[in-house]
Structure 1
Amino acid sequence: MHLIVMRHGEAGWHTLDRERELTEYGRHGVADVAAQIAESPWRPEFIWCSPLVRARQTAAIASEILNCPVTEKDYITPDDDPGRCLDELIESAPSPLLLISHMPFVGSLSTLLVDGHRKGIPFMTAQAVVLEMPVAGPGCADLRAQFLP
């Protein structure tokens, strides 16, 4: 299975957390990373995203560049348990998949998949990493690449 984990692009701070929107810089960073992913051997066929505005906006930009459908998942918001997402990855995840979410979730999920624990690694906005797993499970992933804006 190939999983690309991406943090949303830079968002402004002028509103409630759930309603924060991407800045112009954030939109450009997302487009840059999505273009890099499109040229890579790990081009996704599906996108899962958080229902928060900045993640949905990130997914819309990525979807347009990658030409793949987006599905919102309510269990990949900033403070959700990455174990729940892991259960869904095991049960029904398409591959290759781009998952767009937030810190600390993206760091915790990536660390769980690579190292088997939930101490999150940091992600810059619009950063993405490629994880390759023979099966989805704690400690089963190898980090294959990363994309930066």
Structure 2
Amino acid sequence: MQLIIMRHGEAGWHTLDQERELTEAGREGVGAVAHRIAESPWRPSLIWSSPYVRARQTAGIMSEILNCRIDEKDFITPDDDPGACLDALLEVRESRLLIVSHMPFVGSLSTLLVDGHRRGIPFMTAQAVCLDMPVVGPGCADLKAQFLP
């Protein structure tokens, strides 16, 4: 499986956490990353998105540029357990998946898949990392590329 883990684009702070929307700079950063991914061998066939507004907006931009569908998942919000996502990844039939979520979740999921622990690495907004996982499991992924806005 080829997996891209992406943090949502820059969002404003004017409302409740779940309802925060992307800023103009956030939309531009996400678009830039989407175009780079579209020109790479990492183009996904499916996007999983957090239900929070800023993640849905990020996934929408990615979907439009990459021409792939979005499935909203309620287990990839900021403080969710990356282990639940790992369990869901075991059931995935797609070979190329993009997950759009939040900190600290994206950092915890990335380190779980690469290093086998959940301490987490920081992600900038709209940053995406590309993982190659011959087998889905803790510590089974290799970091192959990253895209920055």
How many residues align? The count is: 149
Give 1:95 shift. Answer: 1.8
Q: What SS does the corresponding residue of 1:126 show, helix, strand or coil?
A: coil
Within a 5 Å distance, the mapping from 1:1-149 to structure 2 comes to: 1-149=1-149
Alignment root-mean-square deviation, CA: 0.6
TM-score, normalised relative to structure 1: 0.99
Shift of 1:91: 1.7
* Mapped partners of 1:94, 1:122: distance in 2: 27
Query: CA-to-partner distance for each residue in 1:116-141, whole Å, 9 max, x for gaps?
Result: 00000000000000000111100000
User: Is the 1:46–1:95 contact (alpha carbons within 8 Å) kept by the matching residues of 2?
Assistant: no
The runs of 5 or more residues in structure 2 that have no matched partner are none
Name the CA distance, whole Å, in 2 between partners of 1:95 and 1:82: 19
Could you tell me which runs of 5 or more consecutive residues in structure 1 were left unpaired when the two chains were aligned: none
Identity among equivalent positions (%) equals 78
Cα deviations across residues 5-46 of structure 1 (Å, max 9, x unaligned)? 000000000000000000000000000000000000110010
Contact 1:33 1:126 in 2 (8 A): yes
Letter in 1 for 2:51: P
Q: Which amino acid aligns with 1:47?
A: I
TM-score by length of 2: 0.99
Paired with 2:53 and 2:95, the residues of 1 have a C-alpha distance of: 25
1:94 Cα shift? Answer: 1.8
Q: Is 1:132–1:142's contact at 8 Å kept on the other side of the alignment?
A: yes
Q: CA deviation at 1:93?
A: 4.9
**Residues 72-114 of structure 1, C-alpha deviations (whole Å, 9 max, x = no match):** 0000000000000000001225220010000000000000000
In structure 2, C-alpha distance between the alignment counterparts of 1:53 and 1:67, rounded to whole Å: 20
Question: Runs of 4+ in structure 1 displaced over 3 angstroms?
Answer: none
